[in-house]
């Protein structure tokens, strides 16, 4: 570092700030330092910095799947906001949602040296009724019911579902059918419970709940069945991919959306406006979920305090 400082004509502190991405360095000075680093082949030693400052500038992320819209977009947001704070992420996928799998992931992250951990916990564990995490580790949980024990960040699933139901009832429909996500999904269950509660509060009949696996194929299969239900004139679908399958099924059965049946999805994926017809959907702010996750875990890292509770990020139709 001293050689870089001499060649660039700056202090060692300025070199340190440039190497850690600190914003308080003038652009021309930053370029001088970067040119000197390239000339000398200098690479910042993160291990030495960790020993000196007691931090690794790394956040571990544990998740069970990247195949769902929520997980992939939340992970993208976490990575983006971690980088804004000068941190990188280390991703540990867990093959099966089990307590042993979670503990194994924490062990691996301990070996890799991280400052804190974010667990994207979208499903119930298969081998335990409650999630138990190692003590003395700064940790934030995403999409879970563990807010009584840990710091949890989640989309306001219930409010989003209520908005969808109220919107459909306001259109004049007698009731609203629901295609829910898998029973083991926290988000899917909260949306389904809110759907039922909204209908009961409005004094409307509650149709039989249908379930899918989040895929467009599942939406198509269930949609073919619902298209034959004469009383199904309004449908709240728990995610946009299944809603896409429903739209295809309705078209195949000769039922025109929205003339014959109204459909509302959940997620607000980028392609929702390109569906035929464009899909009405509940918007999830994944960027804000990611920002609050990073903010919460770094607060724990810096203060040593880990308050329990759930932070809900608003949705909108």
The predicted-structure confidence for 120-136, as pLDDT tens digits, reads as follows 877 776 556 566 777 77
28-37, 56-65, 293-302: which is most confident: 293-302
Domain that holds residue 8: 2-44
pLDDT at 204 over 50: yes
Residue 147 is predicted with a pLDDT of 67
pLDDT tens readout for residues 228-247: 998 999 999 999 999 999 99
Residue 226 located in a structural domain: yes
Q: Tell whether the model's pLDDT for residue 146 goes beyond 80.
A: no
Dihedral of CA atoms 19, 20, 22, 25 in degrees, nearest 10, equals -10
162 shares its domain with 264 = yes
Please state the domain count of the chain.
Answer: 3
Residue 51 confidence (pLDDT) above 50: no
Q: Is the same domain home to 273 and 201?
A: yes
* Same domain assignment for residues 141 and 196: no
Average pLDDT in the chain? 87
Instruction: Determine, yes or no, domain membership for 74.
Output: yes
Nearest of 202, 190, 133, 141 to residue 166 by alpha carbon: 202
pLDDT tens per residue across span 12-22: 888 777 766 66
Q: Are residues 178 and 31 in the same domain?
A: no
The reported pLDDT for the residue numbered 255 is 95
Q: Which residues pair with 185 in a beta bridge?
A: 123
User: Could you tell me the sign of the dihedral formed by the alpha carbons of 57, 63, 66, 69, in that order?
Assistant: negative
CATH number, domain of 38, equals 1.10.260.40
Task: Tell me the CATH number at 294.
Answer: 3.40.50.2300
User: Could you tell me if 127 and 244 lie in one domain?
Assistant: no
> Tell me: the pLDDT tens digits for 75-88?
999 999 999 888 99
């Amino acid at each position: 570092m001293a050689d870089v400082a001499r060649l660039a004509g700056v202090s060692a502190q300025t070199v340190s700030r440039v190497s850690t991405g600190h914003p308080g360095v003038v652009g021309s000075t930053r370029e001088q330092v970067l040119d000197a680093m390239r000339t000398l082949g200098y690479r910042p030693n993160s291990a030495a910095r960790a020993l000196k400052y007691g931090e690794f500038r790394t956040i571990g992320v544990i998740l069970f799947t990247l195949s769902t819209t929520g997980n992939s977009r939340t992970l993208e947001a976490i990575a983006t906001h971690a980088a804004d704070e000068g941190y990188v992420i280390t991703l540990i996928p867990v093959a099966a949602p089990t307590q042993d799998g979670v503990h194994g992931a924490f062990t691996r992250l301990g070996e890799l040296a991280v400052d804190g951990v974010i667990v994207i916990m979208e499903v119930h564990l298969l081998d335990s009724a409650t999630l138990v995490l190692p003590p003395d580790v700064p940790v934030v949980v995403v999409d879970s019911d563990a807010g009584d024990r840990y710091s949890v960040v989640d989309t306001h699933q219930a409010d989003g579902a209520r908005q969808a139901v109220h919107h459909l009832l306001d259109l004049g429909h007698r009731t609203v059918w629901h295609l829910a996500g898998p029973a083991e999904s926290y988000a899917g269950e909260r949306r389904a419970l809110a759907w039922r509660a909204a209908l009961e509060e409005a004094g409307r009949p509650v149709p039989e709940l249908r379930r899918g696996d989040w895929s467009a194929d599942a939406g198509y299969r269930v949609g073919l069945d619902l298209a034959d239900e004469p009383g199904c004139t309004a449908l709240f679908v728990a995610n946009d991919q299944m809603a896409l399958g429903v739209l295809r099924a309705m078209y195949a059965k000769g039922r025109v959306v929205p003339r014959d049946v109204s459909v509302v999805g959940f997620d607000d994926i980028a392609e929702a406006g390109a569906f035929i017809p464009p899909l009405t959907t509940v918007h999830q702010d994944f960027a804000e979920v990611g920002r609050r996750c990073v903010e919460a875990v770094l607060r724990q890292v810096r203060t040593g305090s880990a308050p329990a509770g759930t932070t809900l990020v608003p949705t909108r139709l």
